[in-house]
Amino acid sequence: MKTIPQITRLTSIALLSGILVFSACKKESSSDSAADKETYAAATGQAQSEADIVFDDVFNNVVGVDSEVGVGAGVGVFSSSNTTDGAVETNGVNGVDSTRCFTVTYTQLAAPARFPLQITLDFGAGCTARDGRTRKGKIITVYTGPLIVPGNSSTTTFDGYQVDSIKVQGTHKVQNVSTSNNRAFKITVTGAKLTKPNGNYSEWNSEKTITQTEGNGTPLLPLDDVFSVSGASNGSVLKNGQLFQWSTEITNPLIKKFLCRWFVQGTVVLRKSNSPVAELNYGTGTCDNKATLTVNGVVREITLP
């Protein structure tokens, strides 16, 4: 369980490092020239990566609240504090932990039943965490039950929420879709909008499934764990008065081994309409920090962080 957040972070970081090789600042035209494709790949790749990073952070915070609803301390803003100290489990009353700058509220929506349980993370007017990000506003999540139980889910919305200078809107859902053979989570983001102070914004929808394909028989021994990530996303971005629309698809599942920092296999395609613009390929199974990025038929080897 504790490796799931690491996978999502790697997805966004790899996409960012790969696609943003094309950090073009040219004006967009209606042609499909090589320069225009690179401009398009740069603008949409950055927007895709920012959305991935913001909502991966939401996922980490949703599953990191405590071991009752998620995986407990160790991920997200809970990574360096005791998640029970100062958390008040009463309807509408905030609890403050002196070791962190946000409050946590537990609200039983159908008391005396424990679930559905609403948990609100309130970052107030500004809360800078140990990860260096400054968050404002509220993350509001309703859990149908513990997320480690198949069939249970969480739905997250936002109230004035902001990460650094980016205003965050939308709905984020996590659902445990595990089977008797494999542990799996479906992560869906709908109606997302990320707005910057200069008026630039991106709108985004995403659906991914993270499945544990090896190591299910040894839940206490993560060294043999292997995960497969599949899914797709689409969005539009307004940047300096120009509107770009894109979609991405994991065309071959991204494979992550616990013992390897990087994805070892899989491909991601970025499309304009139905036409591929760029493809990121992680290789054939070898654990290394190399991948290839193809744009305009040109294949470049890139180094992953």
**Ranges of residues in the chain whose predicted pLDDT is under 50:** 1-3, 5, 7-8, 10-14, 16-31, 81-98
CA atoms within 13 A on the CB side of 87: 17
Identify the DSSP state of 76: G
Note the pLDDT of residue 237. Answer: 94
Note the pLDDT of residue 201. Answer: 96
Note the pLDDT of residue 80. Answer: 55
Note the pLDDT of residue 42. Answer: 77
Q: What is the pTM of this model?
A: 0.81
Phi-psi region of 118 (alpha: psi -120 to 50; beta: other; left: phi over 0): beta
Rg (alpha carbons) of the chain, rounded to whole number: 20
Q: Which residues, including other chains, have CB under 8 Å from residue 39's CB and lie 6 or more apart?
A: 22, 24, 26, 27, 28
Strands 117-122 and 134-143, by their bridges, are: antiparallel
Strands 226-239 and 242-257, by their bridges, are: antiparallel
Note the pLDDT of residue 74. Answer: 62
Tokens representing residue 232 in the block: 């797709």
Note the pLDDT of residue 132. Answer: 84
User: Taking a C-beta distance cutoff of 8 angstroms, is the pair 47, 202 a contact?
Assistant: yes
Largest CA distance in the chain: 63
Domain that residue 51 falls in: 4-303
Note the pLDDT of residue 13. Answer: 43
How many domains does the structure of the chain reveal? 1
